[in-house]
Structure 1
Amino acid sequence: MPEPVAGRTVAGRTVLIAGATSAAGHTAARTFALAGARVVAVGRDPERLAALSEWAMGISGDLTDEASVARIADEVHSAAGPVDGVLHLVGGWRGGGGLAGQSEADYRFLEQSFTALRLVSRAFDRDLRASDAGRLAIVSSTAVARPLAGAANYAAVKAASEAWTRAVAQGFAKSARDAGEPLRAASVIYRVKALDGLEQTLADAYAGLWGQDAAEINDTAITLSGA
């Protein structure tokens, strides 16, 4: 475990939660707000986002549509300024039935998470690189290390998401190296067997990234598990 950086926390940071209307999103929004962060919650459903109004500014839109993501980024920048962190929670599960049961419809549903990750990380990449402590994190699955035939679609999408997140990490490192500056941004993968019951663990882990040196956590995969 990396040593914490003295005095550095999520307090005062602007953090965007992509796919914020899930149970994990609610927990994260509350945790970050209580820790002193400015929280932006993004999701499709305005009514479900309204339930987060105590903790976060809600912006509705389709994170799988490039024009919608560009509009969301403009709204975020106008209302809250550049972001210091992105927590990607767009996801879902479909599977079963062995390899023959891996339908195209199920794959296209799952693929939305990867599409959203690509669009959101590109839209806010400049913000994260410019921040004195930018932090991007995704939730992946332990299935990536041992994919099963009945979850092949799911594991494939998660593997692609991990590859993209590692590419973001390499971009952060290259940008700092080219500028002759220390690395300040970090891109991290959290792997879980199942997220249910780990919502608070995830929120605390992500908030804690600001207390760790970027060079020690960039391009890392961390498995989260219950007590």
Structure 2
Amino acid sequence: MKANIPDSEATLNVLVTGGSGASGIAVAGALHRAGQRVFTVGSDRARIEAAAGRAGDGVTPLVCDLADLAAVQSLRDSVAETAGRMDAVIHLVGGWRGAKGIADQSDADWDFLERGAITTLRNVSRVFYDDLAASGTGRFAMVSSTAVDNPTAATASYVAAKAAAETWTMAMAEGFSRAASSAGGKGAAPWSAAVVLVVKALVDADLRLQHPERKFPGATDVEDLAAAVVGLFSRPAHELNGRRLLLAT
């Protein structure tokens, strides 16, 4: 597939999934201020509309169950009709579940993590992959955890789900590289990139206010995450594709 290379000053269509949370608001707001056309996705209409309002006037809220492939396909068709192809997807859907050890890793927790961390990512990436591959500035980013590098018995389900999501993202990166080689010859630089942003934990201003006694060591502020996402569009795809970028402090 050959890329449609956009003007460097062109406004990009960016989809931010998990847009109702603090990280979604921060990322959507930063992208909007950077001049991009931003669409945020959440499963609850009231929450995603309120979050989009906080992110900035002009951010478009959308409602979708991202764990439902047919719903994601319908979402893509609807957005394409009104705004055209998506140039980027910033996937912020996830969740946390822990336990005491291996024996008490519950099926309910695994189902929750599989749905949030893996199924939503698989659905969104499959549906929007061709859009990203055709964009001259295609970007796909997910947020993972430093825990993947140091798994513990207590976090077994969580790190397994995150590792699976990372592996899928790396497979997308290989797809982008292969498309570039097919179009421009062996070794041609990719024009789209799939990247993993790695944090220990995320923290925001409201969480700091709620817990003034906590220091949140090593945590990444959602505003720093947002700045890192905006920065993905100013770096060449070949510098990013297939990389894990550590944002933990």
TM over 0.5: yes
1:111 equivalenced with 2:118 (yes/no): no
Is the Cα–Cα contact under 8 Å of residues 95 and 101 in structure 1 kept in the other structure? no
Q: How does 1:58-207 map to 2 (within 5 A)?
A: 58-112=61-115, 113-180=117-184, 182-197=189-204, 198-207=221-230
- TM-score of the superposition, structure 2-length normalised? 0.85
Offset of residue 182 of structure 1 = 3.9
Which amino acid in the other structure matches residue 85 of structure 2?
P
How many angstroms apart in 1 are the aligned matches of 2:139 and 2:119? 19
Higher Rg of the two aligned structures: 2
Aligned to 2:12: 13
CA deviations on 1:43-93 (whole Å, 9 max, x unpaired) are 100101111142411110100001111111111111211011100001110
Q: Is contact 1:29–1:55 with CA below 8 Å preserved after alignment? A: no
Corresponding position of 1:34: 33
What number of residue pairs does the alignment pair up?
Answer: 219
Correspondence for 1:4: none
What amino acid is aligned across from residue 234 of structure 2 in structure 1?
Answer: G
SS at match of 2:62: strand
Gaps of 5+ in 1: 1-6
Structure 2 unaligned residues grouped into runs of 5+: 1-6, 205-220
**Contact 1:15 1:85 (8 Å CA) reproduced:** yes
DSSP 3-state at the match of 1:211: coil
1:56, 1:217 → 2: CA distance?
A: 26
Question: What is the rounded CA distance, in whole Å, between the counterparts of 2:8 and 2:143 in structure 1?
Answer: 23
Q: Secondary structure at the match of 1:87?
A: strand
Shift of 1:121: 0.6
The aligned residue for residue 222 of structure 1 is 245
- Aligned residue for 1:101, secondary structure, equals coil
CA RMSD of aligned residues (A): 1.4
Residues 9-53 of structure 1: CA deviation (Å, up to 9, x unaligned): 7x6111001111110001111111111110010110010111114
| Counterpart Cα distance in 1 of 2:104 and 2:8 | 48
1:142-197 superposed Cα distances (whole Å, 9 cap, x missing partner): 11111010010000000000100000000000011111164110000011110124
Aligned identity (percent) is 44
1:106 and 1:183 map into 2 onto residues whose CA distance is 37
TM-score between both structures, scaled by the size of structure 1: 0.93
- Give the aligned residue type for 1:222: L
Tell me, yes or no, if the aligned pair for 1:12 and 1:36 is still in contact at 8 Å: yes
